[in-house]
Structure 1
Amino acid sequence: MDSNPPDGFKPLFRTSPFLDHNGPFFYRENSDGTFVVGLRIQPKHANARGIAHGGLLMTLCDIALGYRTTRSQTPSPMLTTASVKTDFAGSAKLGDWVEAHVDVHKVGGRLAFANCYLMVGEERIVHASAVFARTGDRPAGTPS
């Protein structure tokens, strides 16, 4: 099955062995400087019922929440996930394109807070809220 993203999406700007194994993940920049993270559901992402595994959807939320929150400020804060609460309201089937839309609420001196909705088309299938511990700031020019 093809993982091709919709027009305007390109490979996620940062990767790791974990992301490579679970992806491929993509992103699209918005005109306001924010971005959306997306993933095409493939057979390797499915549970025994043939739909996207909840753990994969939670992973997508955590990736989008962290990257979007850390890139919401300059200099970019270094953040560690302290808590993610996830509520499932739907599912994603094989071949579905899933997008993670993040709202950053606050990045403070010690904690950061953000919400994420996973969307399949116009349907919200997951809501997640996260708290991050701020462990410092990245030096200018360091990739986030």
Structure 2
Amino acid sequence: MSGGNAVPEGFVPLPTSAFVEHLGGLYHRPEAPEHTFGMRVGPEHANVRGRAHGGFLATAVDVAASRGARAAMADGSGVSTMTMTLDYLAPVDVGEWIELVTTVDRIGGRTVFTTCRVTAGDRLVARGSVILARLRPRG
């Protein structure tokens, strides 16, 4: 990676909602064995201490869990977040690249259970558990 705002090698832009684009966009690493996403923490994501705001990290986990679940189902089902718990383990500085690895733990008829690990460099900075409602396509 070169430059402070460069996207790490192997990550490509992922088309997403206008809301996520407003946050700076979402990237994914298609060659990764798991559902791996990434985002750059910008000054607009900072709290008063100059570090990533918890709300930004929660949004990133929510989006990564949803995208990971949709990819794992691969049947056109949508999802909607029902519950999310998030443990904040370490601060993230502005300028850092965060990676979000989503594991789909269980896909049921009506719900999808996921976990998401957030790292910045080699540090685990957050971990979340997200339960999603499965929205099957209308037939």
Query: What's 1:142 paired with?
Result: none
SS in 2 for 1:128: strand
2-structure distance, mates of 1:7, 1:138: 38
Q: CA deviation at 1:76?
A: 3.4
Q: 2:7 aligns with which of 5, 17, 24?
A: 5
Give 5+ residue unaligned stretches, structure 1. 140-144
Q: How does 1:119-134 map to 2 (within 5 A)?
A: 119-134=119-134
Q: CA deviation at 1:28?
A: 0.8
1:3 counterpart letter in structure 2: N
1:64 counterpart letter in structure 2: A
1-structure distance, mates of 2:26, 2:106: 25
Q: CA deviation at 1:59?
A: 0.7
Q: Deviating runs (4+, > 3 A) in structure 1?
A: none
Measured at CA, do residues 17 and 31 of structure 1 come closer, stay the same or move farther in structure 2, by a change above 3 Å? closer
Q: TM-score, normalised by structure 1?
A: 0.87
2-structure distance, mates of 1:62, 1:31: 20
Q: Is the contact between residue 98 and residue 120 of structure 2 (CA under 8 Å) also seen in structure 1? A: yes
Q: TM-score, normalised by structure 2?
A: 0.90
2-structure distance, mates of 1:57, 1:82: 17
- Alpha-carbon RMSD across the aligned residues, in angstroms, is 1.8
Q: CA deviation at 1:17?
A: 1.8
2-structure distance, mates of 1:88, 1:68: 20
1-structure distance, mates of 2:126, 2:88: 5
Measured at CA, do residues 138 and 84 of structure 1 come closer, stay the same or move farther in structure 2, by a change above 3 Å? farther
1-structure distance, mates of 2:53, 2:27: 18
Measured at CA, do residues 97 and 76 of structure 1 come closer, stay the same or move farther in structure 2, by a change above 3 Å? same
2-structure distance, mates of 1:138, 1:4: 40
Count, aligned residues: 137
2-structure distance, mates of 1:94, 1:118: 15
Q: Is the contact between residue 78 and residue 138 of structure 1 (CA under 8 Å) also seen in structure 2? A: no
Q: How does 1:27-46 map to 2 (within 5 A)?
A: 27-32=28-33, 34-46=34-46
2:5 counterpart letter in structure 1: S
Give 5+ residue unaligned stretches, structure 2. none
- 1:108 is aligned to 2:108: yes
Identity %: 31
1:119 counterpart letter in structure 2: T
